[in-house]
Amino acid sequence: MKRLFYFILILVGVSSVHSCKEIMDENGDPLVDINSNSGLNGPRALYREITDSDTLATYYYNGLQLSKVVTDSMNSTADIAWSGDKISRVDFRGFLDLDGNGKLDKDSITYNQQFTYGSTGRLETVSESRSFFKRSTTAPYTVAAPGPQTLYQKTKTIYGIKYSATTSKLDSINMRTGPEVAGAPSYNKYSKVKFEYSGDNVSKVTKFGGNITGSVMAAPSEKLSFEYSNYDDKINPFTLLPQVYKISRILSTQNNEVKSWILSPNSPTRYSITNLAQPIPTSVFFSTNYNYDAQTYMRKGYGVNYIYKPL
């Protein structure tokens, strides 16, 4: 558990540098110049997240609908399908930082997430199938010259999405996951994630997780808390993305709940990660100063620059 906690800290720390790039979008249209104070007038879309060493995400659209997100320099891609005005499926293929050490794993992953909505139109269930691939280093292959990516594990995961009866805000996400056996899931792990708010902004996220034996959930062995404070009164870049995609992004890796502030309309200038499983809980704090454009959209924070394009 302590090792996992430090992995999360490393994951957060890799975004501690800044960039001063000026770029255009894929059509050659001018983007917001992050080195100026002019800003972009009129409707906009979030186009890129960048640091000085990498492009973290590039967002593509079909009209007004988000259609694809390409992440990292290895062109990992999430394709987004819609049914009417709702996201119905996300298909990802590429590389993720599953162990939280700040580096992409060399072994690839594919997953698809299917989204089910209730009678009120709100997301209620996310069903995920995930495949893990590994490069062989067994002769005749070597570490320096590994073999092709081959499938070594498949998992099934189900997420139940709950909302507050009084505020209608996202209240909790309950997860069960396990290896796929003969095409059916064999759930052996669970997690319960609880969201708290200050106004419309996420103020605290608590995650408890552990093992499942048979149908019995054992006492949680993983206990983490993420707290967000000192919110600004400006516009969070992620308000331009669909809420369901943001939930999908949070679910993409274990403990990516640390990014739950992307669900908020504003941006926190301070947040903490606390390991509640230790006898004396350990907290680590992070803070930033934001930079904004003329329309008060956040352009830079926590080492990441946000690039916009006109709609």
Tens of pLDDT, residue by residue, the chain (311 residues): 555 554 455 445 444 433 334 445 555 554 554 444 445 677 899 999 999 888 999 999 999 999 999 997 778 999 999 999 999 999 999 988 887 777 788 889 999 999 999 999 999 999 999 999 987 777 776 667 777 778 889 999 999 999 999 999 999 999 999 999 876 778 999 999 999 999 999 999 999 999 999 889 999 999 999 999 999 999 999 999 999 999 999 999 988 999 999 999 999 999 999 999 989 998 999 999 999 999 999 999 999 999 999 98
Please, which residues bridge with residue 90 across strands? 80, 113
Determine the pLDDT at residue 12: 52
Distances from the Cα of 267 to the Cα of 50, 247, 249, 250, 287, angstroms = 17, 17, 17, 16, 11
Q: Distance between CA atoms of 306 and 57, rounded to whole angstroms?
A: 10
Distances from the Cα of 310 to the Cα of 25, 39, 246, 280, angstroms = 10, 11, 21, 49
Sign of CA dihedral 71, 163, 9, 48: positive
pLDDT per position as a tens digit, 61-72: 999 999 999 997
pLDDT per position as a tens digit, 7-25: 455 445 444 433 334 445 5
Query: Residue 146: is it exposed, middle or buried by C-beta count within 10 angstroms (0-12/13-18/19+)?
Result: middle
pLDDT per position as a tens digit, 248-303: 999 999 889 999 999 999 999 999 999 999 899 989 999 999 999 999 999 999 99
> What letter does residue 261 receive in the DSSP assignment?
G
Determine the pLDDT at residue 119: 94
Residue 88: other Cβ atoms inside 10 A? 15
